[in-house]
Structure 1
Amino acid sequence: MSTGIHHVTGITRRVQANVDFYVGFLGLRLVKRTGGYEDAEQLHLFYGDALGSPGSVVTFLVWEDGAPGRVGHGQVAEIALAVPPESIGEWLTRAMTARVPVQGPSREFGETVLRLKDPDGVTVKLVGLDMPAAAPLPDPIAPTRLRSVTLFTEKPDETRDFLARFGYAEQASEGAIRRVASDTDVIDIRDATGFFGGIPGTGVLDHVAFRATDVDAVRQMRLALKGTDATSVHDRKYFLSLYVREPAGILLEYATDTPGFTVDESAADLGQTLFVPPHDAARAEDLRVILPQFALPGEERTPMRDLHFIHRFHRPEAPDGSTIILLHGTGGNESDLMPLAHRLAPNATLLGVRGRSTEEGINRWFRRYDATTYDQADIRAEAEAFAAFVTDASRAYGLDPARMTVLGYSNGANLIGAILQLYPDAAQQAILLRGLQVLEDAPQLAPDALAGHRVLMLNGARDPFAGMAPALEQALRRGGADLDSQMLAAGHELSAEDLTRAGAWLAAEPVA
């Protein structure tokens, strides 16, 4: 069996743009979509030839709207895909027509190369080289397989020697780059001494995986790597593998060719079903709501708008025209409450939103000085901004304000409470889970300011902050809201009773 590259894995912050580039522009096939095996709340997409053959596969972990990384030493820096030599001119035309950033053609190690940038800024080289595909794609000039990756290292000699374990031997050099070759592809080792170190994040390549002949080869490699940071052997369902960092810190994987991507889908249906790792089967339905949705080229899609809050939709299979807007608690994100909301209203479209304030790296909706003292100017500024966001989102996505519910937990519920007092027209129906009064100088609402508004407040009897809830209840009632405030046998955390009572309330009087 051949040695060489098995796959390369990167990290993207925009799943739809990623799919549009690798499937729509490059013409690769999406051969698998799954929750990540290390973190099932990360979508993992696999692209490749018609069967996802080892040596053709490029994969991406999706950190939707995640922080960008930095390319530097200690990283896989570039990937290169082989295309038919005579197609370079057509690829150049395609790139310019599609407005894909492109440089070249140029010559590298005697090969004709176009250098592209994917939507995250990852360098993707197209190399004019006759390397037949194991399972050809329909487009005659589509990439056939991986030609190479480029490694940035401060220890080029040690990196080269380490790669010999995976079947690579030095072949040539060109400037600061040494090229090592297996029997199927090459690795370019660039001396990056003096460069900044790489930082993990979106827009970087996480690791490169090499091909193992079988499971025994992986186990033998594990023994040979004794004394390094090599991991135990992991079952990734589609292959077994281990991970190790070479002397310069670059993450490498060693993976078997089998069983391959047809183990749970037929060849004709590859990439159609979202799979959840077996160890997360108990929360499969929640994960399918949490993981970001996308459309393949040609499928119906809703374009995402660039509004002033990071947001994400979940669209059910049979939408009923209602929308629930979700505001997470401290430390949460835009997808946290989607499973809860999906259980409340399975046919509602869910719009999760991310707070713009941060506290020691965690997401919030407004700044605070301590657990019960809040930045009043920031509350008012973010309430105004969010009220404007609701208006903009309704217009941009065609949402019906009369069939809209705003649901928040903890810090998110607190902002909703402030919005109801400051901008009553922003929401007609709201569910506040552990909501408090955070306005110190709350406006005196007219008796009919909240007329026609339905509000549910669910508080916890053991919640240490529950003493601040009655002030919010009183303010909403004075404004004329139809308020249903209930006390649960719970603390500040959410409980199964929240789902039961919120579901009953939501179903009792649907928004007209």
Structure 2
Amino acid sequence: MTAHGIHHVTAIAGPARRSRDFYVDLLGLRMVKRTVNFDDPTTYHFYYGDEAGNPGTIITHFPWEHVAPGRLGNGETEETVLRVPEASLGYWMQRFLEKGITHETPKKRFGETVLSFKDPDGMRLALAALPGIEREAGWTGGGVPAEHAVRGIHGVSLLLDDDAATGAVLTDVLGFEQVGREDSLVRFRAPGTSIGGIVDIHAAPGFLPARMGGGSVHHVAFRAADDAEQAEMAEKLVRNHQIMVTEQKNRDYFRSVYFRAPGGTIFEIATDEPGFAVDEPAAELGTSLKLPRFLESRRAGIEAALPPLA
């Protein structure tokens, strides 16, 4: 059965070193890939995830040193939720206290305990404490003990005027099913997918529209097994929803098409193949700057322009 769900979440960040320090040193994620924004190679593109960079574990950042802060509003991803073992929530609350990270009081959402917090740029994050996932492998290279390590993305929450039209795209095209309602939240789940399998729509009509900037999620990418499945999904968007998609773009580690969902959010459909080990050994992921072929001739200038990470 084809695995659906979230492939990755891409956000806009501030200083590159601050992004790296928070996601690698504090959250304990692996720097899976260090490359550049293919459209603006003067800035990095960081990929954080699990040991192998599996789909559904990846948060990516475009870090601009002097980016203006974004404003949360309708048409944006409101929160990105990460998976941790149920017994680990106390560890994370103590870790946040020691590191000076402000967090909200844990609360229940669809029966799950959720701890919300923000990264240094204001990106809204949460930890969902889930039973049974302690048996999944946890990356320990970032200094977080294996038993408490993040196990990928749980899901995202979208802040929209209405849930119907975007919900129809999730169910008809992206492989999700509507599974519940709780207050103003509507939950969608990708069947058979434990990692990256949740999208909640927070229907809140009347909010100001979102303004992109530091801390904003730029887009959410959803999984397609390969080019053929991606093409089928794109064709269904046009045929059933009158939504146009971009031409396919080669991102080296996956191939992508983009579209704007009815609620205003930018969605991507990304292939699972070829993966992040295509240009460096799995044991060395994220340890050196990788450039697409069309930028290799400019490597010296690009490296000189990028901000230092040490």
TM-score where L is the length of structure 2? 0.92
> What do you get for the CA RMSD once the two structures are aligned?
1.4
Query: Counterpart in 1 of 2:221?
Result: 209
Query: Counterpart in 2 of 1:91?
Result: 92
Aligned residues, how many?
A: 295
Q: Which of residues 200, 203, 208 in structure 2 aligns to 1:196?
A: 208
Q: Deviations over 1:136-157 (max 9, x none)?
A: 3123211101101010111311
Q: Which of residues 183, 186, 195 in structure 2 aligns to 1:178?
A: 186
Structure 1's unaligned 5+ residue stretches are 296-512
Query: Counterpart in 2 of 1:224?
Result: 236
Query: Counterpart in 2 of 1:421?
Result: none
1:262 aligns with 2:277: yes
SS at 2:105 equivalent: strand
SS at 1:2 equivalent: coil
Higher relative contact order (CA 8 A, sep 6+): 2
1:134 Cα offset (Å): 6.8
Contact between 2:185 and 2:203, CA under 8 Å: does it hold in 1?
A: yes
Within-5 A mapping of 1:157-172: 157-164=164-171, 165-172=173-180
**Letter in structure 1 aligned against 2:121:** D
Q: Which of residues 250, 254, 257 in structure 2 aligns to 1:242?
A: 257
1:135 Cα offset (Å): 5.4
CA distance in structure 1 between the aligned counterparts of 2:83 and 2:300, rounded to whole angstroms? 39
SS at 1:127 equivalent: strand
Query: Counterpart in 1 of 2:65?
Result: 64
CA distance in structure 2 between the aligned counterparts of 1:216 and 1:18, rounded to whole angstroms? 35
CA distance in structure 1 between the aligned counterparts of 2:304 and 2:244, rounded to whole angstroms? 35
Query: Counterpart in 2 of 1:284?
Result: 299
Query: Counterpart in 1 of 2:149?
Result: 142
Q: Deviations over 1:56-112 (max 9, x none)?
A: 011101111111111111111110001010000111111111110111221111101
Q: Which of residues 224, 231, 252 in structure 1 aligns to 2:267?
A: 252
Query: Counterpart in 2 of 1:275?
Result: 290
**Letter in structure 2 aligned against 1:137:** W
Between structure 1 and structure 2, the one with the greater Rg is 1
**Letter in structure 1 aligned against 2:39:** E
Structure 2's unaligned 5+ residue stretches are none
- After superposing the two structures, state which structure 1 stretch, 230-239 or 131-140, moved more: 131-140
SS at 2:41 equivalent: coil
Contact between 2:46 and 2:60, CA under 8 Å: does it hold in 1?
A: yes
1:132 Cα offset (Å): 6.2
Query: Counterpart in 1 of 2:83?
Result: 82
- After superposing the two structures, state which structure 1 stretch, 279-288 or 73-82, moved more: 279-288
CA distance in structure 2 between the aligned counterparts of 1:30 and 1:114, rounded to whole angstroms? 23
Within-5 A mapping of 1:416-431: none
Query: Counterpart in 1 of 2:309?
Result: 294
Change (3 A) 1:247 1:61: same
SS at 1:210 equivalent: strand
Q: Deviations over 1:407-428 (max 9, x none)?
A: xxxxxxxxxxxxxxxxxxxxxx
CA distance in structure 1 between the aligned counterparts of 2:68 and 2:300, rounded to whole angstroms? 27
Q: Deviations over 1:179-226 (max 9, x none)?
A: 111022210100121111001111111111111011111122222233
CA distance in structure 2 between the aligned counterparts of 1:175 and 1:136, rounded to whole angstroms? 33
Identity %: 38
SS at 1:222 equivalent: helix
Change (3 A) 1:212 1:134: farther
Contact between 2:245 and 2:257, CA under 8 Å: does it hold in 1?
A: yes
**Letter in structure 1 aligned against 2:245:** A
